Structure 1
Amino acid sequence: MMSLRVVFMGTPGFARGVLERLTTSTHQVVGVVTVADKPAGRGQKLSTSAVKDFAVEQNLPLLQPTNLKDEAFTEALRSWNADVFVVVAFRMLPKSVWSMPKCGTFNLHASLLPQYRGAAPINWAIINQETKTGVTTFFIDDKIDTGAMIMHRTTEISERETFESLHDKLLAIGRELVVETLDGIFQATIEPKIQLETETLREAPKLNKDNTKIDWNKDCTEVDALIRGLSPYPTAWTLFAEGETTSAAKIFLATPKPELNSIEVGKIEVIGKELLVGCGSGALKIEELQLAGKKRVRAIDFINGLNRQKTQEFTS
C-alpha cells in the first residue's frame, strides 16, 4: 500500500478547505460524509454544505445520513474499505462509526487541546483575549474533544484579529497538519499523548443569542474582543433605541477608546464623524454596523441617518 484510503467527514467551509488539500495529497479520498441538505431562507430552498459542494464538483462518493447509527449508512461506509476516517467540524460520532477503520478516526480541532474543547474554539479564543492558539489532531473517543492528541501547531493571535482572519490562518496550518498526521499514521511514526485534565480548562460552547449579545457595562476592550471574535459571523449584537423605537443591531467592527470615560454606559455620542458608545470603562468607536432589516453600513452613513431630535442608545 502506497498510501492510506481515507473517508472524510465534515460540513462547513473550514472542513471543505481541508478536504481540498487532501485530494491533492498522496492519500486517496474514497468517500465523503456530510450533513443532509436543509431548507433555508425565506423560500425554504434546500441548502447544501460546503463539503457536499466540493464533493459533487470532484465526483467523490458521498453519503448524507440523518441517522449515524442507521444500518444502511454503516454498511455503505464499511463498503468503502477505508483505513482511516478524518473528521473536521462534523457531528459527534457513535462508537460503531469511529471504531470502524483499522487505523482509527481522528479529528482536526481549531485549538490547542485540551484548551477550548467545544463547538466554537476560534471565536472564544479571541473573545477571551488569548495571545496564541493553534490546531490539534486527536483520535476520537466516546467523549467530545477528549481523545489522545496526535499533533499540534501553534500560531499567534494578532492584536486586531477577527474570527474571519483567524479562521483563515488556522485553516492554512490545519489542512497541512491533517496531511502530516496521515503521513505519520501511514509511516507508523506517531506517538499519541493522553490529554491531561487541569483546573484551568477553558471551554468553547456553542454560540447562541445570549452569549453573542453585547454587555455595555463591560470594559471597552472586552466588548471589542467580543465583536472581533464574532465578526463577520454570527456577529455581536445589541438593541438600538431611538426615541420610542427599538430594533436589533449587529456590530461588525469597532475600536476601543479606553481613555474616554465621559460617555454614559450604552449612550451614543456623535463627535465629528465618530460614532461613540459608552462602556463600563472607556468607550467604543463603532466602525461598521447593521440594523435589523437594513444593509450593513459604515458609521458615517449611520450617523447621517440619525434623527438628532431623538435620544439614541444601545441597551444591554
Structure 2
Amino acid sequence: MPDNAAGGLRIVYAGTPDFAVPALDALHDAGHQVVGVFTQPDRPAGRGRRLQPSPVKQAAQSLDIPVYQPQRLDAEAQADLKALAPDLMVVAAYGLILPRAVLILPRMGCINIHASLLPRWRGAAPIQRAIQAGDDETGITIMQMDEGLDTGPMLMRRPLPIAADETGGSLHDKLAALGGNCILDVVDGLAMGRIKAEPQPETGVCYARKLTKAEALIDWNAPAMNIERQVRAFNPWPVAQTQWGKRVLRIHSAHLHQGDRQAAPGRVIRAGKSGVVIACGEGALVLETVQLPGKRPISARDLANAGLKAGVMLGRDAETNTR
C-alpha cells in the first residue's frame, strides 16, 4: 500500500561531495523524514593535512541529522542502517559500493542520483567525460539501484543542455541543482505509487572512467578542439597542464583560434598583448587563464609579459627555444 505522502517515508541519505548536498537540502527543506546520513570518513586535506568533514557531513550536521561514517558497509554499518528502519535509501556520489544486504534492507530499496542520461556515461566521472566527448546534452537519471555499475532500472530521466563554454565545475553545479529537483519528484511519486521503473536501453552504453592527474597532461598533437574540451572538462580538477621548460603550466581556460596559421604542435605562434596562441595537431588554441607553480592564476597576456615568447615549444620533452 503506498504512503499517503512522501513525508511519511523514513529516508536514509548517503552521499559525500558537494554534488550530493543540494539533494539532501531539498529533501530536508521539503519536510521529508531524513532519519540518518551516511557519508565517507573525514579525510586529510589542505596544506596542514588536517582531517576535514565531507560537504555532506557538514550539511547534515547543520540540519541536526544523525551522521554515520563507516569505512565499509560491513555488518556493524548494516546494523546501524537497520536500526534506522528506513523505507528508502537515497544515494548520491557516496563513494562506497552498496552490497546486496544493504540494497534490500530498506522497504523500498535504494535509489541513486546519477549525473548523466543513462546508459551513457555509467561510472565515476560522467560530468567531465560528457564535456570531453563533445556531447550536446547530459542530464540526471534517478535509478533503482541493483548490484551492477549504474545498471539499475530508471525512475526518471531529465536532460540538460551542455553550453559551448561549459566547464566541469559549472556543469557540476547545474546537475547538482537538477538532481535536487528530480529527487523530490521521484520520492513523491514513489510514495504515492505513481512512478514505475523502466529498464535502461540496451544500446548507447559507455563508461566514464575515474579522472586521474596523469591525463591532465596536454598532448599538443591532438586537434585543438579536443584540447579545448579537455581544458573545460578538467576545470576545476585536475586542470589541464603542459610543460614549459622545467615548469608546469596549468591552463584553466582557453578557446579555439580562428585562423589557419600552422606550426609544429606545441609551438607558441603568438605571445603578446593580444594573447598567447599555441599550435596543435589540427588548428590552434588561444590561452586565456593560466597558472605557474606556487602562483595565482593570471591572464595569458600577463604570462607573455612574464617571459613566454613566440617560438617557444610547450609540452613534454620540449626545448624552450625560438627556432
**Alignment match, 1:85:** 89
- What secondary structure, in the 3-state scheme, does the structure 2 residue paired with 1:313 have? coil
Deviation string 1:284-312 (CA, Å, 9 cap, x unpaired) is: 1100011222221111221111165x963
| 1:267 corresponds to 2:274 | no
Consecutive unaligned residues of structure 2, counting only runs of 5 or more, are: 317-323
Which residue in 2 is equivalent to 1:30? 35
One-letter amino acid of the counterpart of residue 111, structure 2: F
Comparing 296-305 with 279-288, greater Cα deviation is found at 296-305
Contact 1:275–1:299 (CA<8 Å) still a contact in 2?
yes
Aligned to 2:287: 286
Task: Write the mapping of 1:7-18 to structure 2, written as runs, cut at 5 A.
Answer: 7-18=12-23
Question: Residue 183 of structure 1 aligns to a residue in which SS?
Answer: helix
1:210 equivalent to 2:214? Answer: yes
CA distance in 1, matches of 2:290, 2:103: 43
**Paired residues of 1:31 and 1:62 also in contact (CA < 8 A):** yes
TM-score by length of 1: 0.93
Shift of 1:100: 0.6
Match of 1:248 in 2: 248
Kept in 2, the 8 Å contact 1:249–1:291? The answer is yes
Which residue in 2 is equivalent to 1:126?
A: 131
Identical counterparts, % of pairs: 37
Tell me the CA shift for residue 258 of structure 1: 4.8
- Runs of 4+ in structure 1 off by over 6 angstroms are none
- Partner SS state of residue 312, structure 1: coil
3-state SS, counterpart of residue 93 of structure 1: coil
Once residues 97 and 247 of structure 1 are traced to their aligned partners in structure 2, the CA distance between those partners, rounded to angstroms, is 48
CA distance in 1, matches of 2:243, 2:69: 39
| Change in 2 beyond 3 A, CA 1:307/1:228 | closer
CA distance in 2, matches of 1:42, 1:174: 32
Q: Could you give the per-residue CA deviations for residues 189-239 of structure 1, whole angstroms, max 9, x where no partner exists? A: 1111112322x4332110012332211111111110111111122211222
C-alpha distance after superposition, 1:9-34 (max 9, x if no partner): 00111101111111111421110000
Q: Are 2:56 and 1:51 aligned?
A: yes
Deviations 1:159-205 (A, max 9, x none): 1111122112212221110111101110111111112322x433211
Counterpart of 1:181 in structure 2 is: 186
Contact 1:17 1:175 in 2 (8 A): yes
Q: What is the rounded CA distance, in whole Å, between the counterparts of 2:182 and 2:92 in structure 1?
A: 12
TM-score in terms of structure 2 length: 0.91
For 1:21, the equivalent position in structure 2 comes to 26
Structure 2 CA distance for aligned equivalents of residues 180 and 131 of structure 1: 25
CA-CA distance at 1:42 after TM superposition: 3.2
Structure 1 counterpart of 2:304: 303
Q: What does residue 157 of structure 1 align with?
A: 162
CA shift, 1:261, in A, is: 3.1
Q: Distance in 2 between matches of 1:262 and 1:307?
A: 19
1: CA distance, partners of 2:112 / 2:105: 15
Q: Which runs of 5+ in 1 are unaligned?
A: none
* Partner residue, 1:257: 257
Q: Do the aligned residues in 2 keep the contact of 1:221 with 1:258 (CA within 8 Å)?
A: no
Segment drifting more, 152-161 vs 265-274: 265-274
Alpha-carbon contact 2:271-2:308 (below 8 Å) kept: no
Letter in 2 for 1:263: A
Root-mean-square deviation (CA, aligned residues, Å) is: 1.6
From 109, 113, 124, the counterpart of 2:118: 113
Question: Structure 2 CA distance, aligned partners of 1:257 and 1:157?
Answer: 21
| 1:179–1:82 Cα change, 3 Å | same
SS at match of 2:101: helix
Residue 233 of structure 2 is aligned to residue 232 of structure 1: no
Question: AA paired with 1:92?
Answer: I
Paired residues, what number?
309
Q: What's the CA shift for 1:79?
A: 0.9
Asked if 1:169 corresponds to 2:174, the answer is: yes
C-alpha distance in structure 2 between counterparts of 1:193 and 1:181, whole Å:
13
> In the aligned structure 2, how far is the partner of 1:81 from the partner of 1:185?
17
Pairwise CA distance, 1:313? 2.5
